[in-house]
């Protein structure tokens, strides 16, 4: 019997596995508007958040290990070489990617946990900067996708300084307006507070332009309370008043299977309505909305 083949949706197909690589996984990302070469430094899957919407499967046993910088460099070189030569677009997972998206946007530190927790984070950023400089193109960004909890630590600041010299960009997570909702949604460990996240975002964004990523979702079928949206908008307003340079706020919702069955996608209409409130609170900031894509 002839089976109809189902086209692969390049945006939904985001495995952190590529060839035999340990650290590097290219994906086509709507937010990157092109190829994003993901870097996973978190093979121990450790995170200091336990977000209800997290998509990391932590059911398997994992162990801590230091990063093999030589191997990481080789893998990143391979990925950029495949992308620069155009060979990567012949792979089945990328075969349906539109021509306009066939460009390398970034090397993105984003893995199975918070990237800045990795003790070798600064060394990995330094190695990535060298590969980027050697292989380019110069427009390729070094992106850090982070929950912002550790941005104040000196070892992380050293890595951020390297990023700043290499077309770096911080994409900082901010999902909440109040500490109560923060504890419920992001489930932080080690006494991390929303104030710590906001202080770190403010300090980082005073030094360079940043992107804020906000994931909104239904909990047990309920939209986030209006009081929470209001408090979130006030937080954004305070960041801007304090001198934060926020280039873009990305508002998105869950698009794949989540850690908690209580977390569900917000439909496009509700997400658009919430984003209008964010736009009103931050009229100078570009607000982009990404639905679940379902
Ligand atoms: S910060 Fe990221 S990796 Fe950590 S629990 Fe939340 S979604 Fe998962």
Q: Is the CB of 147 under 6 A from ligand 1?
A: yes
**Ligand 1 centroid, distance to 87 Cα (angstroms):** 32
Asked whether residue 168 falls in the same domain as residue 233, the answer is no
CA of 54 to the centre of ligand 1 (A): 5
Q: How far apart are CA 168 and CA 141, in angstroms?
A: 5
User: Does 127 lie in the same domain as 76?
Assistant: yes
Q: Does residue 5 sit within a domain? A: no
DSSP notation for 29-62: ETTTTEEEEEE---TT---S---TT------S--
Point out the ligand 1 atom lying closest to the alpha carbon of residue 215: 7
- Does a structural domain hold residue 4? no
Region 49-67: mean pLDDT is 80
- The rounded percent of the chain whose pLDDT value lies above 90 is 78
- Among residues 127, 143, 173, the one where a domain terminates is 173
Q: Report pTM.
A: 0.92
Same domain? For 186 and 216 the reply is yes
Mutate to test the pocket of ligand 1, among 50, 51, 109, 194 (most ligand atoms within 8 A of CB): 51
Q: Looking at residue 199, what is its pLDDT?
A: 98
For ligand 1, the distance from its centroid to the CA atom of residue 173, given in whole angstroms, is: 9
Tell me if 47 CB under 6 Å of ligand 1: yes
Instruction: Note whether 169 and 142 are within 8 A (CB).
Output: yes
- Greater confidence, 51 or 62? 51
Q: Is the CB of 50 under 6 A from ligand 1?
A: yes
Looking at the fold, whether 70 and 130 belong to one and the same domain comes out as yes
Q: Is the predicted pLDDT of residue 28 greater than 90, yes or no? A: yes
Residue at token pair 């990157």: 32
CA distances for 135 relative to 24, 59, 116, angstroms = 16, 37, 25
CATH number at residue 261: 3.20.20.70
Return the structure tokens found at 95. 């075969």
* pLDDT of 255 above 50: yes
Residues 161 and 198 in one domain: no
Q: What is the pLDDT of residue 145?
A: 97
Do 27 and 164 belong together in one domain? yes
On whether the CB atoms of residues 83 and 104 are closer than 8 A, the answer is: yes
Tell me which residue has its CA closest to atom 7 in ligand 1: 54
Ligand 1 centroid to residue 267 C-alpha, Å: 22
- Which domain, by its residues, includes 198? 177-294
Tell whether 99 and 223 lie within a shared domain: no
In a domain, 211, yes or no: yes
Is the pLDDT at 6 greater than 70, yes or no? no
Judge if 34 and 88 occupy the same domain.
Answer: yes
233 has a pLDDT exceeding 90:
yes
CB 249 within 8 A of CB 282: yes
Tell me the pLDDT band of 14, cut-offs 50, 70 and 90.
low
Rounded Cα distance between 208 and 67, Å, is 28
What is the best residue among 56, 146, 176 to mutate for testing ligand 1's pocket, by most ligand atoms within 8 Å of CB?
A: 56
253 and 205 both lie in a single domain: yes
pLDDT at 19 over 80: yes
């Amino acid at each position: 019997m002839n089976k109809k083949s189902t086209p692969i949706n390049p945006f939904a197909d985001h495995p952190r596995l590529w060839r035999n690589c340990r650290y590097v996984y290219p994906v086509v990302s709507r937010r990157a508007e092109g190829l994003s070469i993901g870097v996973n430094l978190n093979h121990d899957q450790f995170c200091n958040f336990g977000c209800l919407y997290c998509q990391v499967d932590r059911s398997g046993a994992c162990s801590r290990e230091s990063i093999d910088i030589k191997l990481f460099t080789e893998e990143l070189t391979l990925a950029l070489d495949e992308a620069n030569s155009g060979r990567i677009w012949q792979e089945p997972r990328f075969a349906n990617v539109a021509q306009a998206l066939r460009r390398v946007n970034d090397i993105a530190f984003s893995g199975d946990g918070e990237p800045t927790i990795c003790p070798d984070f600064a060394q990995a950023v330094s190695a990535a900067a060298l590969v980027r400089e050697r292989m380019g193109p110069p427009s390729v960004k070094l992106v850090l996708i982070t929950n912002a909890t550790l941005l104040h630590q000196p070892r992380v600041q050293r890595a951020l300084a390297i990023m700043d010299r290499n077309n770096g960009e911080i994409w900082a997570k901010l999902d909440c307006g109040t500490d109560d909702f923060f504890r419920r949604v992001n489930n932080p460990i080690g006494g991390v507070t929303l104030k710590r996240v906001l202080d770190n975002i403010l300090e980082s964004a005073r030094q360079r332009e940043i992107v804020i990523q906000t994931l909104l979702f239904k909990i047990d079928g309920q939209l986030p309370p209006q009081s929470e949206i209001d408090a979130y908008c006030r937080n954004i307003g305070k960041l801007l008043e304090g001198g934060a340079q926020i280039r873009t706020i990305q508002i998105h919702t869950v698009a794949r299977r989540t850690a908690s069955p209580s977390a569900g996608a917000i439909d496009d209409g509700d997400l658009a309505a919430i984003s209008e409130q964010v736009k009103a609170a931050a009229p100078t900031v570009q607000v982009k909305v990404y639905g679940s894509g379902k």
